[in-house]
Amino acid sequence: MLREYASSRGITLHLCADPDLTVIDAFGVRHQDGRPDRPIARPAVFFVRADGTVAHSRQPENYRLHLKTQDVLDGFAMTLK
Amino acid sequence: MAFHLLVALAGTTLVLAGAMSFMPNAPQLPVLSAGDFPNIVIMALGAGWALLGAVQGIRTGKSRLAKALLVLNLLLAAIGAGGMTWWVLDYSYRLPPPVQVQSVPDFELTDQQGNAINALSMRGKPYVLIFSRGVW
């Protein structure tokens, strides 16, 4: 059902790993103290327009806080504007 | 009076012990994990003892010096327990202000089907890029 919905809307999902932190550093989202054994990314969401410019990004300054539904909707609205 | 002083001092000692037991892990992982939870309980218990000692001591005691000591002790316990709890539950989760990115930098990753994903291949349609940390 989800696959049908996704394909009808033209939504694709890519899952990528960044073990070397290269992309994490390119976006400046490294959380150095996130884990004692190795740094990881801070929680971050980027809403990107078709031309590759960033319409909106959310990077909470407290990583217990997750994005709310309204944040996501606002991000979409800004991206598609 | 002496008994109440003893209770209050034991409470502060508990608070200090709870706070100190966070220290070995503090620089690497200053977040509350399941293993840290007993420390918070111990500190709350200690603050409770300090409060009990202070209230009973002030109610029944006569020595002004002892009363002042009890108040000071309670203050110390409250600051210790409250401060550590705040630090563990709130402060340790804070992150520096984010770096603002105006446009997507060049990146290259492989997705779950082995396809190369980069800034250029994603052009043409809007998309959402989510950095998830697994352990969050």
Q: Tell whether B119 is within 8 A of chain A (Cβ).
A: yes
Q: Are A53 and B102 a contacting pair at CB < 8 A?
A: yes
Q: Min CA distance, A76 vs chain B (Å)?
A: 9
Among A37, A46, A74, which would you mutate to test the B interface (most chain B Cβ atoms within 10 Å of its Cβ)?
A46
pLDDT digit string, tens, across residues A26-73 = 999 988 776 667 788 888 999 999 999 999 999 988 887 778 888 889
pLDDT along chain B (136 residues), means of 10: 88 88 60 68 91 91 88 91 82 85 90 90 91 72
- Partners of B99 on chain A (C-beta within 8 Å) are 27-29
Q: Tell whether B33 is within 8 A of chain A (Cβ).
A: no
Q: How many residues does chain A have?
A: 81
